[in-house]
Structure 1
């Protein structure tokens, strides 16, 4: 396979040894072979040369929590509290979704994410075969799970769990290794304890991680205490959830003791600042989580509660809101927010060879147009990416060494067809 060599580039690497370099990056197959100053032997004679002048290259963004098909509900039920939003606006409409709705809703989300520099995303939803097929077609990387709500008769619980297990068996490691899977009880408030225990058992059987919503709102925590006599972290720990590698979404309302519990079990947290702010769920104790040694990543949540899938916005919010509420301007520095959106996002979903630009890592990277007024001067690109850039600045996207976006145009998906089909699905559902 012909090497790809980017010359005259500026590279944010996320490698502590050299976080920013200017020079060349060499890609061999699906991996990075070299990043650094141009050397005599760094470019082979038959290499494909890309001139990176005025471009800023960085690892692809990793969105660790979302529900892609909820693009169909963007703008439906805004400015409501979480439980009202769920019970009156989301669940009744989602009950109408067919596999075709999920297909086109997901493809639209993937388009938005790809063009905005996200190279890997976590998705918890229904009709997950359609989601996996969309990921396979797009060239993106996906960590996918059939989200299971257990507020239903026993036979329906059985069917959902069987479907979740079969999906994991069918798709884990597929699409050239770009797809991985998890098991996912939706939340403690939507799954009876014995059902969660069965899902944990399945995760052990399949040797898979678990993903769930946890402690998103104060009302959820209070309900858990009333219903089960304990707060969500203790409740989930008793049910064995933390006996598996585990990623929880939100983790907004946590005590010191709960933070210690999560750290003990190496539970990872997907911080969703945009969604949490919009639903008035609160602000997670991210500086305290980081000090405790907990791995924290970033997620957008679904487009119905965000309302976009712009991970640059999540990085900026993560850096800003914690400064504002703590009074400490260094509580979440730009570099930490950037790590949460890239390297620590990948590590949070157990991808150890994704998230940085260094030799041996997967060639998942993006390019930004740095020749724009809001990204000048060329003083501190790590800061610019967090405080100045947006999804609209992304020009090129590569995953596994293959280019999937070039000059802001998607190479793997038909954007106009997806938008047209999406509009038809929305009109039939809600129009």
Structure 2
């Protein structure tokens, strides 16, 4: 099927300041084949979709999260990270079954699709069930089985499961599912375990995602134990010899940033979660100045408490202006790119992903531009970043397939998912 989208305000996110006020996007066989002003040359037999009054832009990319933690939204609020993890989250996670994880992921996918997210990264457990949810929903997923092990023996089971998961799912669903290895963090995976992860990463030809330098206390603990920063620990374990995405990267030294830039380490910036947990504010402008590739993540809904990537785009633009007392620290073009094109780069996806460019995967969204909060219109990129709401999303396409049409899900049964989530959560209180 070839589909021509016409009449919308097209923001391709291929370069700063570019949009087509009355543009077209042509999709065929899951790929974008044409983008530009006007309606473009038509082809007999193609379907035509009129997007008049709407923004057309790439789907959002959520570069870090734990989708099934949507089940724990509001369960443990207003706590520092270690208390949140050790006293609240880890104990209840021990009770979660594969079935729980499946429906929790489905709940997250409902929310992400309705908010315009077409690609997400995930690190959790029972990951076969997560992959099943991704396959059914039709989104793009970069999935890791989380690995925690304070010794090689303790981590061996999770690493074995990770290897098996990668062999089953890496490249599945026509390439929509990518598998990476997921060592949780240097404080839960010491160097000996990280070295095992590096070996398996090379063996399987897959990348790595890890939490890194999220809190000041974590960094102090690693320095006290190893005499060096968490970034140095990862580098010396060989992690950065593999394609690596680090989540958070809040407490970095200048030497850390230089090392990450040298090894082309990618970063998932999670402004909302970092603020809520009191972890601090990552040095985003410095990372960008050094050429580090940075995407945006929501983290899990237990620490955010939503999966609204558009909110993270706005936060990324606003926080760094305030912290640096610099109104141009992160401009609207940069913020939107972080949530789309640069997020795809952070996840090591193919060239063009996260944009509306010929040859790119056909992952795109419509946003209704008629609301009073979006009028008048002077600069549509600024309007999306500073004024739009995730509820403005009306239509979502991933891999050339409609997932949401006129705010109605095409691949997921909303009522069924909410029923099962309610049943699971009732069990938490028993």
Q: Name the CA distance, whole Å, in 1 between partners of 2:189 and 2:221.
A: 13
| Partner in structure 1 of residue 18 of structure 2 | 19
Kindly state the Cα deviation for residue 195 of structure 1 after the two structures are TM-superposed: 1.1
TM-score (norm 1): 0.97
| Partner in structure 2 of residue 60 of structure 1 | 59
Q: Name the CA distance, whole Å, in 2 between partners of 1:31 and 1:153.
A: 43
| Partner in structure 2 of residue 38 of structure 1 | 38
Kindly state the Cα deviation for residue 17 of structure 1 after the two structures are TM-superposed: 7.9
What's the CA shift string for 1:374-419, capped at 9, x where partnerless?
A: 1112211100111111211100000011101011111101000000
What's the CA shift string for 1:409-431, capped at 9, x where partnerless?
A: 11101000000000101111236
| Partner in structure 1 of residue 100 of structure 2 | 101
1:350 pairs with 2:371: no
| Partner in structure 1 of residue 257 of structure 2 | 259
Q: Name the CA distance, whole Å, in 2 between partners of 1:142 and 1:229.
A: 36
What's the CA shift string for 1:149-193, capped at 9, x where partnerless?
A: 114782x52221100111011101101110001011100001122
| Partner in structure 1 of residue 396 of structure 2 | 397
1:377 pairs with 2:380: no
| Partner in structure 2 of residue 420 of structure 1 | 419
| Partner in structure 1 of residue 324 of structure 2 | 326
Q: Name the CA distance, whole Å, in 2 between partners of 1:64 and 1:406.
A: 24
Give the conservation status (yes or no) of the 8 Å contact 1:310–1:390: no
Tell me the C-alpha RMSD between the 2 structures.
Answer: 1.2
| Partner in structure 2 of residue 340 of structure 1 | 338
The alpha-carbon distance between structure 1 residues 320 and 18, as it changes in their structure 2 partners (threshold 3 A), is: closer
| Partner in structure 2 of residue 208 of structure 1 | 206
Aligned length, in residue pairs: 428
1:186 pairs with 2:184: yes
| Partner in structure 2 of residue 388 of structure 1 | 387
Q: Name the CA distance, whole Å, in 2 between partners of 1:18 and 1:52.
A: 21
Q: Name the CA distance, whole Å, in 2 between partners of 1:270 and 1:62.
A: 10
Q: Name the CA distance, whole Å, in 1 between partners of 2:212 and 2:193.
A: 16
Give the conservation status (yes or no) of the 8 Å contact 1:26–1:32: yes
Aligned counterparts, 1:75-154, within 5 A:
75-151=74-150, 154=153
SS at match of 2:173: coil
Residue 298 of structure 1: which of 296, 299, 309 is its match?
A: 296
Aligned counterparts, 1:281-320, within 5 A:
281-320=279-318
1:411 pairs with 2:402: no
| Partner in structure 2 of residue 161 of structure 1 | 159
Q: Name the CA distance, whole Å, in 1 between partners of 2:297 and 2:37.
A: 34
Q: Name the CA distance, whole Å, in 1 between partners of 2:429 and 2:97.
A: 13
SS at match of 1:13: coil
Give the conservation status (yes or no) of the 8 Å contact 2:215–2:251: yes
What's the CA shift string for 1:339-378, capped at 9, x where partnerless?
A: 0000000011111231111111111000001111111122
What's the CA shift string for 1:256-292, capped at 9, x where partnerless?
A: 1110000000001100000000000000000000000
Q: Name the CA distance, whole Å, in 2 between partners of 1:209 and 1:23.
A: 37
What's the CA shift string for 1:313-342, capped at 9, x where partnerless?
A: 000000000000101100000110100000
TM-score (norm 2): 0.98
Give the conservation status (yes or no) of the 8 Å contact 2:31–2:400: yes
Give the conservation status (yes or no) of the 8 Å contact 2:151–2:190: no
Q: Name the CA distance, whole Å, in 1 between partners of 2:222 and 2:152.
A: 21
Give the conservation status (yes or no) of the 8 Å contact 2:395–2:404: yes
Kindly state the Cα deviation for residue 88 of structure 1 after the two structures are TM-superposed: 0.3
SS at match of 2:424: helix
Structure 1 runs (4+) deviating above 4 angstroms are: none
SS at match of 1:315: helix
| Partner in structure 2 of residue 268 of structure 1 | 266
SS at match of 1:183: strand
